[in-house]
Every structure is written in C-alpha cells, then in structure tokens.
Amino acid sequence: MAVDNVTVNANTGIDGSSYTTAVSNDKLTNEDFLKLMIEELKMQDPTKPMDSQRMLDTQMQMSSIETNLQTIETMESLAKTFSQSALSNAAAVIGKNIEDGNISDDGINKAYTVRSVENIDGEVNVKAQQILYIEDQIQDADGKNIIYDLNGEILDAEGNKTGFKVALEDVGNVIEKDGLPVILDENLEEVSNSGYTMNGAVLPVYSDQLVSIPFGSITKIF
C-alpha cells in the first residue's frame, strides 16, 4: 500500500492477520503518520488491539520531530539571510577607514583602511591595512611630490638616499619655517632656498600586510 509517497509493506501471518513488515520514506509527516496509524487499526487483530497510549506517544514523538525539523529549517534560513545581510553591510565599508578598539604601542587607537570583505563559514570579516602614520606631503621645485622615510631621509626615484633630510617633529610630521619645510644636508645643517614646499596634503602610510578583522568588532568608521 502507498500513502502519499509512503510505502507500507504488509504480510499475512499464520493467524490470518496482516502485519506491517516495512515502511519506506525518509520524509514522514504528521499527516502520513495518522494515515499509517489508521491503516494499522484496520489490519490489527481484534483480539489483540493496539495500545492506544502507545499510539498517542508515538504520534506526539512524530509531532515533536516534525516541529524540530521545521525549527531547524527556519533557523538555517534566518542564519543565511543574516549572513548575506552582514556581508552586504560590510561591503559598504570597502575603501573606508575603521577602528576595532585595539590600541597601538604609542597609546592611540589602531586605524585601518578596508580593502575587501569575505564570508568564511558564516562569519563576515574585513581585510584591511593598518595605517601606520599620517605623512605630510612635500613637493620639489617642479611640483613633484618627494619621498622620504621614517627618519626623514629624502629618497630618489629608485629609493636611494639623496643625502638630504626633511626635519621631522615626529614621524610624518614635518617641521616648517615660514611656511616651508626645513631641509637638512648631510651635516644636518639647514639648507636655505631648498626649493621644496609644503604640498598642503597628507597621506596615510600603510603596513604592507593585510589583517583580517571580524566585521562585528568594528567600533568606528570614518
């Protein structure tokens, strides 16, 4: 006999009664169970009726299992929706600066620029570069920005030291005099009329490594 894709195999015993020998279906529903129970009642031995309490207990177990499966499916759907929403929200911060509450060695909040986002096993992370410091921009007489290192050493296009230095108050913070950057020669003496001027802009200097930060741990976006 088949009931809504539920196959019940029954054999007739030596006493003339029918007995269920197999039930095949991996997606039984509560309705299916009720149909099976009715079929069992039809085939039972009148002299040995089925225990009604046992039948009720079995039905309750089936209802509980079905409810649990529906709850699991609902939770999985909600988790998937939440994960997709979180990934969409995280994508909006690509290219922006963030903080995650961590403090650097100099006692200030670490800041990062987000480069990409990723979803790993339902956890959304951002991939970001830490901003090491903010650097004042200087340009030469031709209007080209010059490159200098942490110590203020001015470098050429190939990255070699030129022998001149930018005087720094601290990393990236240029000392100015009359609105012009103070430039030092190899003897650390101030160079007059160096031709260098302040660009008026600042740029972040980044770590060369990407770090992974949980999206939920971001404390500030700017």
What is the C-alpha to C-alpha distance for residues 173 and 167, in angstroms, rounded to an integer? Answer: 9
- The proportion of the chain whose per-residue pLDDT surpasses 70, expressed as a percent, equals 64
Q: What are phi and psi of 66, to 5 degrees?
A: -65, -40
pLDDT in tens, 112-137: 999 999 888 778 899 999 999 999 99
d(CA 165, CA 149): 9
Q: How far from 208 is each of 103, 112, 132, 172, 205, CA to CA, in Å?
A: 19, 12, 10, 17, 9
Percent of the chain with pLDDT over 90: 50
* Residue-wise pLDDT tens digits, 38-92: 776 676 666 665 555 566 666 666 667 666 666 777 666 555 555 566 677 788 8
- The answer to whether the beta carbons of residues 155 and 162 sit under 8 Å apart is yes
Chain segment 133-190, per-residue pLDDT in tens: 999 999 999 999 999 999 999 999 899 999 999 999 999 999 999 999 999 999 999 9
pTM: 0.58
